Structure 1
Amino acid sequence: MPAVRKLLIGIVLSIAMSLAQAGAYEEIIKAANGGDTEAVENLLKRGMDVNTADRSGSTLLMIAARNGNQPLLETLLVNRASVNRRNQFGDTALHLATLNARIESVQALIEKGADINPSGWTPLHYAVFSGSSEVATLLMAKGAKLDARAPNGQTPLMLAVKHGNLDLVRQLVDADADMDLTDFEGISALKLAIRLGNEEIIEYLRKVGAIE
């Protein structure tokens, strides 16, 4: 009987611990999404994993980067959060900071070793998608590959053309992006501009010597 009683007590304690951990998980995700840095810090001190992720695989660091919560992001980096983990969509914290034009977060993540040139869609693609010239400038200064190819073969320049952003088109060309590359369907930046009927970009690309 004592052995059975001991076993039952162990089971009860295990269940109680699991419930407590589940509650702490929900609490830390809620705190991160709500921007409550103090609550996240307290939960980390109680033993929660700094790389805790929500159901989409987005870690606390990704949440902070996406929301531009610099104090929380800095706290997580101090606690050695992984900077290069990806969520189920393939995004890292740097991708999300870039997509949302969080320049301070982008800088901090790069300083902590975030991969600027991962496979697939790169942070520079995301900077172009968001229309942030400032973030694009920072990424290029830190070594972002100008002609990186997305899964569909598009380069950041092609994406800038697609979104009709002449300023970013100029910025990428001035930085020596290859104007004559084509995507996996054989479409160049100029040909894409012609298809989209963007006369300003067509005129500019022809002026600087782009070919169809």
Structure 2
Amino acid sequence: MMERRRSLQAMAALAAGMGCCPWLHADAAADANAEFFAAVMRDNYRGVLTQLLRGFNPNTPDARGRTGLTLAIRQESWRVVDELLQVPGIDLNLPNRQGETPLMLAAIKGNLELVKKLVKLDADVNREGWAPLHYAASAGLEHSVEIAAYLLEESAYIDAASPNGSTPLMLAAQYSSEAMVKLLIEEGADVSLRNQQGMTAVDFARKSEREYMVQLLSTTVRARRPGRGQW
């Protein structure tokens, strides 16, 4: 523990001096980049720490626009993730080229512990476009419903609209579990919303031929519709 603390202090000192002068030539920087991301892929946290102590910026993307943290979560390199979360200057909201943040990836991986850790470290629960709740709602893993419930407790917007207007409920209707759909309905998700293609959550469920989900959502739509033709 003491050794790790000293290492992190050394990284903080390096980070403080990063703006004064370049310390890596182009070839050396390319080598450092390759070694850092290779270590991330192999879950080699010692290799990652070595590069960081040499001055590698933890927020540097690779050639495919993946940050060390987003790649580590995607690859399930959990030891590297734990290491990176302790690095001074790590940007917890920096997305990869696909616009995926660490919290979004932790949500779709079903990693409840990491989701909670990231939120406590001030990762953004809400963001424009695809949001962490979209990713949680589209997964059907063991802890996915718990993750969605936790994000809602942390003020995630339940009807967040993706770039094409799709909501978490729509994704859950097509890809996730009945428990996920019920959670979102119970928490007040708007079943009547349509995306830019004019599709509702019912349409998403019908698209994947999930008749039981179609019935559940259709019943909710009817229950929430103001009474008509009543004497």
Distance change in 2, residues 1:20/1:156 (3 Å): same
Distance change in 2, residues 1:36/1:196 (3 Å): closer
Describe the SS at the equivalent of 2:85: helix
1:35 alignment partner AA: D
Instruction: State which of 29, 35, 38 in structure 2 corresponds to 1:27.
Output: 35
Q: TM-score, normalising length from structure 2? A: 0.77
Give the conservation status (yes or no) of the 8 Å contact 2:160–2:168: yes
The reply to whether residue 201 of structure 1 matches residue 213 of structure 2 is yes
Q: Which residue of 1 aligns with 2:136?
A: 127
> Greater shift after overlay, 62-71 or 169-178?
62-71
Aligned equivalents of 2:202, 2:60: Cα separation in 1: 44
Instruction: State which of 149, 152, 163 in structure 2 corresponds to 1:137.
Output: 149
Describe the SS at the equivalent of 1:78: coil
Aligned-residue CA RMSD in angstroms? 2.2
Q: Which runs of 5+ in 2 are unaligned?
A: 1-21, 226-231
Aligned equivalents of 2:191, 2:128: Cα separation in 1: 21
Shift of 1:148: 0.4
Q: Which residue of 2 aligns with 1:149?
A: 161
Identity in percent: 34
Give the conservation status (yes or no) of the 8 Å contact 2:174–2:207: no
Distance change in 2, residues 1:201/1:46 (3 Å): same
Instruction: State which of 68, 72, 81 in structure 2 corresponds to 1:64.
Output: 72
Give the conservation status (yes or no) of the 8 Å contact 1:190–1:210: no
Structure of greater Rg: 1
Give the conservation status (yes or no) of the 8 Å contact 1:68–1:102: no
Q: Which residue of 2 aligns with 1:77?
A: 85
Shift of 1:81: 0.7
Aligned equivalents of 2:152, 2:176: Cα separation in 1: 20
Aligned equivalents of 2:33, 2:67: Cα separation in 1: 12
Q: Which residue of 1 aligns with 2:7?
A: none
Shift of 1:197: 4.4
Structure 1 stretches of 4+ moved >6 Å:
none
Distance change in 2, residues 1:21/1:202 (3 Å): closer
Q: Which residue of 2 aligns with 1:169?
A: 181
> Greater shift after overlay, 197-206 or 25-34?
197-206
The reply to whether residue 189 of structure 1 matches residue 201 of structure 2 is yes
Deviations 1:156-176 (A, max 9, x none): 111111226322111110111
Shift of 1:125: 0.8
Aligned equivalents of 2:204, 2:93: Cα separation in 1: 33
1:198 alignment partner AA: R
User: How many equivalent pairs are there?
Assistant: 197
Aligned equivalents of 1:119, 1:166: Cα separation in 2: 27
Q: Which runs of 5+ in 1 are unaligned?
A: 1-13
Aligned equivalents of 1:42, 1:164: Cα separation in 2: 40
1:116 alignment partner AA: V
Q: TM-score, normalising length from structure 1? A: 0.83
